[in-house]
Amino acid sequence: MKLVVGLGNPGRKYAETRHNIGWMVLAELKQRYGKTQPKEKFHGELVEAEVGGEQVLLLAPHTFMNRSGQSVLAARDFYKLSEDELLIVCDDFSLPLTKLRIRPGGSSGGQKGLADIVCRLGHDQFPRLRMGIGPVPENWDPAGFVLGKFAKEEREDVSALVTAACEAVTVWTLEGMDACMNQFNGDPAP
């Protein structure tokens, strides 16, 4: 069993913002692979899915970004999952739009949701898929940037990025971390 967690903020105000791109990926994964209706569980929304015969849980924490670890810890502990069975999908404004970066562990890089997950789990050795939403324009506050919506001219790139991220999750689920890193850590998404 795998647990894929897409980070974002609940509420209409945050829908389709850069910070919620993790939720956009979950929505696409639900369409592709979902087997159950969403359930309120673990301080979030949980959907059971199946990817190539592998059971995958899709979790969208409803705790707001800065407290994502509460939801992740509850789900991980309930299902008794190891860290390599967990994948966090989140935004990264230090990566250019359309760029993916998957890693088996490492620092939060300033991403508040990842920082809370690191704090709650007590370590940073869990897989994460970072999705480029940057760069932050000069003289912009990064917090305002990530909470802003994508521009009309960015929508095609965002759609391609979400599609590429779903493919990365599929490869991670079926073939593992090394195969996923080899395939998706190179050039920007098509």
Contact 131, 97 (CB under 8 A): no
| Angle formed by the axes of helices 155-175 and 21-33, nearest 10° | 60
Query: Which tokens hold the place of 46?
Result: 């949980």
- Set 19, 43, 62, 123: catalytic member: 19
The span from the CA of 179 to the CA of 28, in Å, is 22
Q: Is 19 a catalytic residue?
A: yes
DSSP readout, 95-142? EETT-EEEESS---TT-HHHHHHHHHHTS--S-EEEEEEEPPPTT--H
Q: How far apart are CA 124 and CA 134, in angstroms?
A: 23
CA nearest 28: which of 171, 170, 152? 170
* β-pair partners for 51: 54
Catalytic annotation, residues? 19
